Structure 1
Amino acid sequence: MLTNKTISTPRLKQFVRFFRESGTPVFFIHGNGSSSFFWEETMQNLPEDFRGIAPDLRGYGDTEDQLIDATRGIADWVADFQALREALGIEQYHIAGHSLGGAFLFPLIAEEGERVLSATLVAPGSPFGFGGTKDEKGTPNYADFAGSGGGIVNAEFAKLMGQKDRGSDNPQASPRVVMNTFYWKPPFKPEREEEYLSSLLSQKTGDTRYPGDFVPSENYPFVAPGNYGPINSTSPKYIGASVEKFIHAEAKPPVLWIRGAEDQIVSDNSLFDFGTLGKLGLIPNYPGEDVYPPQPMVSQTRYVLEQYQRNGGTYTEVVFDDCGHTPFVEKPEQFLTRFHPFLENHK
């Protein structure tokens, strides 16, 4: 049975979804433009000896609205998670993260890998951050990390999100259209489409929330990261330093990496990346692939996980055909046939 609770910690009040009161804990971390709701059906299908715990991250859903200090990278979310885990009295756990929530797992494992029984990355953002880097090693295109941070978000989309717009009349920015075009592969639509849209619209918006602030840049695409909000938190300017800590973490839980073959958000040619958009001629003043190529997000993740494996860890990559950015929603049965044995094998 699903229950919802608000858990007070020394850091903030977190809204948390629970499934079952006993069993080995499995945490579920949602992505950007969503909330813990996205994981409800996956939680309800957990094997009997597991219980599910899914928090709304700071800046999302029904968790207390507090500022995200992006200059700390993902550290605010990691500290929030640790405070929640301690409040719940949990010592060890499995964890699954989707998109931004998948990128969250890299610094989390670097911090407390000894507590993690297994980690499932679902369409994770690159461990080097989103935007502004080239090659599999995450080399920045420019010293100011132009092309990452709050300035790369479609301002009209963020505006409509803040207005809780449920329409579909803007083909470039309506939250419903963006969700049904990019979160999953069209023509798929989930049965609970309205509830998924409500989850998307529950994100906090504003200059210091989503998408966050930004500064002008002399470098293409002429914006560089600011200091606040979730998209700045995932800029390689702030998050990239955690990669080496992950690769060389003393404790290395097993990693399962699941992604859709036709993901348009996290890919080596992401339609949310200014390298891809410039190459396609959709953004003016593109300096060319030699200066600003599409970010190889999937290749970067594979490179980091291979380094993790060379240093004593293990990982398995699974690709679902005919699937977009949210495999556990688009292909739930296929997802569970991979996810459940992975949990069972690493109790």
Structure 2
Amino acid sequence: MVGTILPGILARQVETSRLRAGVLERPAAPAAPGSPPAETVVFVHGNVSSSLFWQPVMLALPESLHAVAIDLRGFGDSEALPVDATRGVRDFSDDVASVVDELGLGAVHLVGWSMGGGVAMQLLIDRPELVASLTLQSTVSPYGFGGTRLDGSLLSDDGAGTGGGGANPDFVARLASDDRTEEAPTSPLAVYRSSYVAPGFTSEHEAIWVESMLTTATGVDNYPGDASGSANWPGFAPGGRGVLNTMAPTWFDTSGIVDVVPKPRVLWIHGAQDAIVGDASFFDLNQLGKAGVIPGWPGDDVAPPQPMVSQTRAVLARYAERGGMVTEVELEGCGHSPHLERPAEFLAALVTLIG
């Protein structure tokens, strides 16, 4: 990843019992003699990205904090190991936990973005002793991506219309071919500009973000995964392998965070103009059907769009009712990447949470 690492960030590989993981690090400033060890913030990226996206916020953190960003399997500089989607996102969350354990970090302030929010929630459920606080940025719903009602119940028993079959094949092909052009709306650069950030946002590091997207390993064992047939519209259901199937509602459910004891403080920060995670997301095939983009949509009674944001809000309200502390920050004019688009507000909310 030559040319993609910003000054002040260290890149290395960490060998754990599960995988060889790519890790970026911004060390804390040396502590005074007798001072407690620095607290660590661990960043988990989302789908079709890598730890590279976290560098600006890592550098902006107070020097008293230790920052670590971990590449998930099949992304960035980590091994492209197969992803068993029948475990939901546990292949990813177990990998993150193995890096935290290997580095001896103890309880960390965990930050998850998009799919990484789902990974962070799963890690909280399975290894609550590792989570000092939880920040969910533009997180996937606790009920996965697509195919559910507000209460998380399945629209169809097989999760039709979700998982690996929902990926745009031209986008996948362009990822596999390292396409850096702007020639098509399905190029990684075009997708970044139209979906990762709100319209009009510009970044001096845009080329790095595209390089990050291009590290995505493609295929049935990674992105997007496989699919199975379905008698329900639109004719496919989740498979058991690969990235998109990990978030299919047949395999994924992190609403169990409401039962974790003790409950760490939670920050949920998201953009009001998020094109990927929303109550009317155009990455949800039911929304595309409702809009007439995909023919044959059977209607709201059978295949309504998933109310993703409303689901997250409802689950976090239950978390708070059961004794947890939750802060929601919704940013107007912001898309899927608050840490890039509104860095000062993101940083202030995160530092306040950490205390």
Contact preservation (8 Å) 1:114, 1:252: no
State how far apart, in whole Å, the 2-side matches of 1:337 and 1:7 are.
Answer: 30
* Equivalent residue for 1:317, pick from 325, 328, 331: 328
Once the two structures are superposed, residues 185-226 of structure 1 have per-residue CA deviations (whole angstroms, 9 ceiling, x without a partner) of 111121111110000011100122110000121111211111
Paired-residue identity, %: 41
Give the structure 1 partner of residue 274 of structure 2: 263
Q: Of residues 151, 174, 178 in structure 2, which corresponds to 1:160?
A: 174
Q: Which residue of 2 aligns with 1:77?
A: 92
Which of 61, 69, 80 lines up with 1:46 in the alignment? 61
2:179 counterpart letter in structure 1: D
SS in 1 for 2:127: helix
For 1:10, the aligned partner's letter is S
The aligned residue for residue 19 of structure 1 is 26
Which of 228, 243, 252 is 2:255 aligned to? 243
**Aligned-pair distance for 1:163?**
0.6
Give the TM-score of the pair, scaled to structure 1.
Answer: 0.96
Structure 1 portions without partners, runs of 5+: none
C-alpha distance in structure 1 between counterparts of 2:264 and 2:127, whole Å:
10
Question: Number of residue pairs matched?
Answer: 340
Select which of 297, 305, 320 maps to 1:286. 297
Q: Aligned to 2:246, which of 223, 227, 233?
A: 233
Q: Give the residue type in structure 1 aligned to 2:157.
A: A
What is the SS of the residue equivalent to 1:312?
A: coil
Deviation at 1:114, TM superposition (A): 3.0
TM-score by length of 2: 0.94
2:124 matched to 1:109? yes
**1:114–1:253 Cα contact (<8 Å) kept:** no
Equivalent residue of 1:187, what SS?
coil
| Superimposed CA distance per residue, residues 274-328 of structure 1 (whole angstroms, 9 cap, x where no aligned partner) | 1211111111010001111110000010111111111121111111111100011
Conserved in 2, the CA contact under 8 Å of 1:107 and 1:243?
A: no
> In structure 2, which of residues 132, 138, 154 is the aligned counterpart of residue 140 of structure 1?
154
Task: For residue 190 of structure 2, give the secondary structure of its aligned residue in structure 1.
Answer: helix
Q: Is the 8 A contact 1:114 1:251 kept in 2?
A: no
Report the alpha carbon displacement of residue 112 of structure 1 after superposing the two structures with TM. Answer: 2.0
Preserved contact between residue 265 and residue 353 of structure 2 (Cα < 8 Å): no
**Aligned 8 A contact 1:122 1:327 in 2:** yes
Match of 2:346 among 320, 332, 335: 335
Which one-letter code corresponds to 1:339 in the other structure? L
Give the letter aligned to residue 141 of structure 1.
L
Deviation at 1:21, TM superposition (A): 5.0
**1:34 has 2:45 as partner:** no
Residues in 2 aligned to 1:293 and 1:11: alpha-carbon distance in whole angstroms: 39
User: For structure 2, which runs of at least 5 residues remain unmatched after alignment?
Assistant: 1-7, 30-37
Q: Equivalent of 1:131, from 146, 159, 162? A: 146
- Tell me, in whole angstroms, the C-alpha distance in 2 between the residues paired with 1:69 and 1:334: 36
